[in-house]
A and B are shown apart, each in its own frame.
Chain A
C-alpha cells in the first residue's frame, strides 16, 4: 500500500461527458503528479502540483485540467470526453526532493 488514495477505481461514461478523478497524497507529501496510461502509450506525464500551485505540465490536453486544494488532495477534470481518453489515470506523490514517486492504484476510465 503506497498510501496514495485514488477514487473512483472504475468509471464508465459516454463521449462528450465530464468526469472528475480524485487523489489524496501520502501524509506530508506536497507534490502530486498525474499520469495517463494507455495500452499503446505507456505512462504519460500530464501535470504536477506542489503545495497548491501548478509546477510542471506534460502532455495534458486543453480539455483536461487539474487543481490541488489546501488540504493537498488533487482533482483531475476531464471534459468533452472522447473514446481515446479511455485509459488508466494515476496519481503519484513524492516526498521531499528525492526522485521517487509513489503511485496510487489508479482510476480506470472507459468512454463509450
Chain B
C-alpha cells in the first residue's frame, strides 16, 4: 500500500521560531492535506493542496505541493504557544471520490517558553 514518511517526528522549538516539516510518498498523490490535532480532539484541516507546485497560505501557515507530486511541505512562521500539537500530512492518489486518505505518522510540535 501507499506509504507516507513524515518528518521530523517531533520538534522542540522556542516561541517565535519558524517551523518546517515535510512528507514524502512512495507514490504520486493528487491531493495533499495538512491537519493539526490537539490533545483529546479530532484532526482539524489546516490547508488543502490540489495541484503540483501549488503554494497555499493560511495565516502564518504555508504549505506546498511538491513538483514531483510525491512530497509536501508545511511551514509555520513565528510560532506561538497555541501552535503546540500534532501535525499530520495526508495524501490521496485519487481525484476525490471513494478513497480514504493515507496519513503520515505526525510531527509533534512542542514549544518551549
Do A and B make up one complex? yes
**Which residue of the partner chain, among B33, B44, B48, B96, contacts A97 with CB atoms under 8 Å?**
B96
Which applies to chain B's interface (DSSP): helix, strand, loop or mixed? Answer: loop
Which applies to chain A's interface (DSSP): helix, strand, loop or mixed? Answer: strand
**Which residue of the partner chain, among A58, A97, A101, contacts B95 with CB atoms under 8 Å?**
A97
CA A65 to CA B25, docked complex, whole Å: 30
User: Which interface class (under 10, 10 to 19, 20 to 34, 35 or more) fits B?
Assistant: 20 to 34
Question: Which residues of the partner chain B approach A48 to less than 8 Å between Cβ atoms?
Answer: 98-100
Q: Is the CB of A103 within 8 A of B98?
A: no
Given contacts A2-B44, A105-B41, A105-B42, whether A100 and B33 have CB atoms under 8 Å apart is yes
Minimum Cβ distance to chain A for residue B9 (Å): 11
- Per-residue CB contact flags for chain A residues 11-50 toward chain B (1 = under 8 Å, else 0) read 0000000000000000000010101000000110100101
Most A C-beta atoms less than 10 A away, residue of B35, B42, B88, B95: B42
**Which residue of the partner chain, among A2, A42, A92, A98, contacts B105 with CB atoms under 8 Å?**
A42
Question: Which residues of the partner chain A approach B40 to less than 8 Å between Cβ atoms?
Answer: 105-106
- Per-residue CB contact flags for chain A residues 63-105 toward chain B (1 = under 8 Å, else 0) read 0000000000000000000000000001010001111111111
Kindly count the residue-residue contacts between A and B in the assembled complex, taking CB atoms under 8 Å apart.
65
Minimum Cβ distance to chain A for residue B105 (Å): 4
- A4 to chain B: closest residue by CB: B42
Minimum Cβ distance to chain B for residue A12 (Å): 16
CA A103 to CA B94, docked complex, whole Å: 20
- Per-residue CB contact flags for chain B residues 84-113 toward chain A (1 = under 8 Å, else 0) read 000010101001111111111110000000
CA A60 to CA B43, docked complex, whole Å: 20
Question: Which residues of the partner chain A approach B31 to less than 8 Å between Cβ atoms?
Answer: 99
- Chain A residues at the B interface, C-beta cutoff of 8 Å: 2, 4, 31, 33, 35, 42-43, 45, 48, 50, 55-56, 58, 90, 92, 96-106
Sort A-B residue pairs by CB-CB distance and give the 10 closest, nearest first. Answer: A103-B42, A99-B31, A97-B96, A45-B100, A43-B103, A42-B105, A55-B98, A99-B92, A105-B42, A103-B43
- Chain B residues at the A interface, C-beta cutoff of 8 Å: 30-31, 33, 35, 40-45, 48, 50, 88, 90, 92, 95-106
